[in-house]
């Protein structure tokens, strides 16, 4: 039996709700003079796009209510079923949007209520059975008009070192939307890759490698091709000429991870829009699609790497999972769970027996691949571990972190072998040549630091010529007056 206090409380709540609803001024539906039935795609969806989906689709789903597709709409949200076919006044979609019930939608703060005609369309559509689209829904990406990043925005999001010995090694760095090349031994500036066909929305020459920021870089094993990833595209460059071989498009969002197979025949790309299915696409060396892993992850894919024998592809994502797929079938093999935040990178040890993953939880995890279980945690970084770079033919790997440190670890025992210093801000990227003699790292500072991989000593802080600090000329002494 309910207590008197509880009954009084419920009475007060009900009274408050009644007063709240009494203040509502319903939107009177307009009188529609039409004979044809309401068409979901032509009549209803445009209203959703103009008034609703900004708060109820994609990564933004207030009230856990997704209006991005018909199926999601009919499923409803946290408040219950939104549409009851044939019954507008029992449908939350109608009662909220027509202001017959609170909370009204769109909220008053949006200052974008439905018009009487739009309310009438909702009402008639529901009365007619709330029928869905007659053709399968195709989820289209919103059109994005890219503009060049501000002049001061020059983070180094990606670095890659060509697969040669130190005397011939070349460091490629994505600084802002530019790609700069430096000598791997001395750090001397070599060149800048520019795509002359790139133009901004207003038709001006971009004079850069991409319109948006360079998010990822990877040299082919033969050193002849450099792949660069940006917003919704990947460019394959002729490394010697600095010209574009081909541009790959039709990506969902930023391409933040690139990896070549050891034989150079396949290039894997990772990315995807936040909170949507992660994107894993694999191409042949010329840029032709090879295969795609569908529904591999439920969020952005941040890292991927082929196994040493090329038969498997390991991936890591914002959904906190590390997963492995067969090549070239794309068939799921196994997953590894343990990170408590985004998994930002993943790779294989040289023998293919262990996986190593880097997390936004500040932890590095080493996994026994065959057993499918964790071998050890490696802790020490104070902020997220953003990137891994493996030294081929060894059990060692480099790490970059938001704590401004770059380190070398051993996967067998978890020991830290070396540190690479002088970074003063968040480090996004690290890379080395195959024998580990050349190490490069970069981050928010916009500086690429070149290290001697054998002892960790800084060789040079590298910048393109137009970013080098100007040297002050010595002041000329004025002749003394007699």
Question: What's 53-94 look like in SS3?
Answer: CCCEECCEEHHHCCCCCHHHHHHCECCECCCCCCCHHHCHHH
Angstrom CA distances, 320 to 204, 278, 301, 348, 358, stand at 41, 12, 10, 18, 10
Residue range 272-310, pLDDT digits in tens:
988 888 999 999 999 999 999 998 999 999 999 999 999
Helix and strand numbers, DSSP H then E, in the chain: 5, 30
Question: Which tokens go with 25?
Answer: 């001024």
pLDDT at site 72: 87
pLDDT class for 34, splitting at 50, 70, 90? confident
pLDDT(20) > 50: no
pLDDT at site 177: 97
- Helix residue ranges, H only, 207-300: none
Choose among 210, 160, 151: nearest CA to 446. 151
pLDDT at site 7: 43
Stretch 52-78: mean pLDDT, rounded?
80
pLDDT at site 1: 40
Name residue, tokens 């070398």.
408
Half-sphere exposure of 353 (CA within 13 A, CB side): 7
Between CA 237 and CA 228 the distance in angstroms is 8
pLDDT at site 417: 92
Stretch 453-469: mean pLDDT, rounded?
93
Residue range 159-168, pLDDT digits in tens:
999 999 999 9
Minimum mean pLDDT among 383-387, 419-423, 469-473: which range? 469-473
pLDDT at site 54: 67
Residue range 171-230, pLDDT digits in tens:
999 999 999 999 999 999 999 999 999 998 888 899 999 999 999 999 999 999 999 999
Stretch 237-260: mean pLDDT, rounded?
96
Between CA 28 and CA 115 the distance in angstroms is 9
Going by the DSSP 8-state scheme, the letter that residue 420 receives in this structure is E
Give the Cβ contact number of residue 194 at 10 Å: 17
Residue range 373-397, pLDDT digits in tens:
999 999 999 999 999 999 998 999 9
Question: Which tokens go with 239?
Answer: 């490394």
pLDDT class for 16, splitting at 50, 70, 90? very low
Between CA 229 and CA 235 the distance in angstroms is 7
Stretch (H or E) spanning 347? strand 343-348
Choose among 257, 262, 187: nearest CA to 222. 262
pLDDT at site 21: 45
pLDDT(12) > 50: no
Strand, coil or helix: 190: strand
CA gyration radius, the chain: 28
pLDDT class for 33, splitting at 50, 70, 90? confident
pLDDT at site 462: 97
pLDDT at site 135: 74
Strand, coil or helix: 175: strand
pLDDT at site 3: 45
Choose among 113, 50, 42, 38: nearest CA to 83. 38
Angstrom CA distances, 28 to 87, 126, 167, stand at 17, 16, 78
Question: Which tokens go with 280?
Answer: 């894993």
Answer whether the bond into residue 103 is a cis peptide, omega within 30°.
yes
Residue range 124-168, pLDDT digits in tens:
999 999 999 887 755 556 667 788 888 888 999 999 999 999 999
Between CA 99 and CA 112 the distance in angstroms is 13
* Helix, strand and coil percent figures for the chain, each rounded to 5: 15, 35, 50
pLDDT at site 472: 59
Cβ atoms of residues 345 and 386 within 8 Å: yes
């Amino acid at each position: 039996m309910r207590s008197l206090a509880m009954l009084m409380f419920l009475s007060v709540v009900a009274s408050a709700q009644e007063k709240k609803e009494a203040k509502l001024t319903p939107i009177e539906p307009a009188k529609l003079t039409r004979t044809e039935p309401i068409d979901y795609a032509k009549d209803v969806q445009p209203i959703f796009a103009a008034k609703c989906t900004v708060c109820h689709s994609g990564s933004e789903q207030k009230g856990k209510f997704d209006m991005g597709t018909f199926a999601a709409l009919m499923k409803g949200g946290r408040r219950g079923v939104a549409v009851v076919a044939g019954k507008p006044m029992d449908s939350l979609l109608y009662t909220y949007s027509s202001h017959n019930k609170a909370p009204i939608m769109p909220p008053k703060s949006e200052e974008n209520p439905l018009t009487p005609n739009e309310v009438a369309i909702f009402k008639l559509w529901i009365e007619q059975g709330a029928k869905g689209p007659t053709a399968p829904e195709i989820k289209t990406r919103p059109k994005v008009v890219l503009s060049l990043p501000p002049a001061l925005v020059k983070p180094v999001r990606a670095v890659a070192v060509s697969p040669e010995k130190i005397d011939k090694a070349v460091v490629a760095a994505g600084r802002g939307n530019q790609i700069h090349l430096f000598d791997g031994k001395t750090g001397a500036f070599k060149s800048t890759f520019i795509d002359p066909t790139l133009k901004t929305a207003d038709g001006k020459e971009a004079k850069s490698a991409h319109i948006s920021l360079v998010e990822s870089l990877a040299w082919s094993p033969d050193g002849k091709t450099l792949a660069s990833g940006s917003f919704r595209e990947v460019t394959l460059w002729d490394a010697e000429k600095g010209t574009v071989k081909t541009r790959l498009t039709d990506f969902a969002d930023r391409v933040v991870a690139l990896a070549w197979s050891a034989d150079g025949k396949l290039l894997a790309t990772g990315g995807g829009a936040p909170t949507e299915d992660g994107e894993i696409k694999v191409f042949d060396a010329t840029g032709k699609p090879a295969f795609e892993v569908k529904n591999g992850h439920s969020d952005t894919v941040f890292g991927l790497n082929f196994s040493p024998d090329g038969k498997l592809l390991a991936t890591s994502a914002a959904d906190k999972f590390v997963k492995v797929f067969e090549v070239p079938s794309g068939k799921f093999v196994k997953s590894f769970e343990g990170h408590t935040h985004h998994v930002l990178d993943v790779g294989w040890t040289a023998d293919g027996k262990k996986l190593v993953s880097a997390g936004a939880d500040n932890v590095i995890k080493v996994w026994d691949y065959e057993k499918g279980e964790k071998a050890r945690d490696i802790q020490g970084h104070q902020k997220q571990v953003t990137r891994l770079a493996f030294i081929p033919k060894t059990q060692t790997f480099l790490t970059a972190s938001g704590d401004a440190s770059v380190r070398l670890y051993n996967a067998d025992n978890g020991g830290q072998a070396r540190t690479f210093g002088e970074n003063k801000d968040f480090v996004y990227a690290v890379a080395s040549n195959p024998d580990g003699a050349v190490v490069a790292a970069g981050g928010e500072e916009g500086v690429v630091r070149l290290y001697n991989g054998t002892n960790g000593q800084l060789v040079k802080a590298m910048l393109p010529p137009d970013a080098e600090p100007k040297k002050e000329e010595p002041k000329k002494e004025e002749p003394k007056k007699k």
